[in-house]
Structure 1
Amino acid sequence: MTPPRGRTWGRRGHTPVARVRERSWRRWSIAAMCCYRPGEASRLIYRPRQHRKYRGKGRNSFSWSDYRDLVVRAHSQLKAPIILIWDNLNTHRAAGMREYATEHDWVTIVQLPSYAPDLNSAEGIWSLIRRGPLANTAFTDDDHFERALRGGLRHIQQRPNLINGCLASTGLTLTRHPTTTRGGQ
Structure 2
Amino acid sequence: MNHRLRESAYPSGETDGRRSRYRPPTRADDILGKRRAWVAEQDWLTLERLPAYAPELNPVELLWSSLKKRELANLAGDHLADVADATEQGIHRINANPRLPWSFLAHTGLTIGPPHPPNLRKDQ
Compute the TM-score of the two structures, normalised by the length of structure 2.
0.52
Please give the secondary structure, in 2, of the residue aligned with 1:165: helix
Query: Which of 91, 95, 100 is equivalent to 1:162?
Result: 100
RMSD: 3.6
- List aligned pairs for 1:56-135, cutoff 5 A: 95=3, 112-135=50-73
Compute the TM-score of the two structures, normalised by the length of structure 1.
0.37
Letter in 2 for 1:167: L
In terms of fraction of residues, the more strand-rich structure is: 1
The 10-residue stretch of structure 1 (120-129 or 171-180) with the greater mean CA deviation from structure 2? 171-180
Letter in 2 for 1:127: S
Asked which structure has the greater CA Rg, the reply is 2
Cα 1:172/1:148, change in 2 over 3 Å: same
Quote the residue 2:119 is aligned against.
180
> How many Å separate the matches in 2 of 1:111 and 1:150?
33
- Structure 1 ranges of 4+ moved more than 4 A: 108-111
Task: Note the C-alpha offset of 1:129.
Answer: 1.0
Structure 2 stretches of 5 or more lacking a match?
A: 5-30, 36-45
The percentage of aligned residue pairs carrying the same residue is 37
- List aligned pairs for 1:22-61, cutoff 5 A: none
Please give the secondary structure, in 2, of the residue aligned with 1:134: coil
> How many Å separate the matches in 2 of 1:125 and 1:110?
23
> How many Å separate the matches in 2 of 1:111 and 1:131?
31
* Structure number with higher relative contact order (C-alpha < 8 Å, ≥ 6 residues apart): 1
In terms of fraction of residues, the more helix-rich structure is: 2
Aligned pair count? 87
Structure 1 stretches of 5 or more lacking a match?
A: 1-93, 103-107
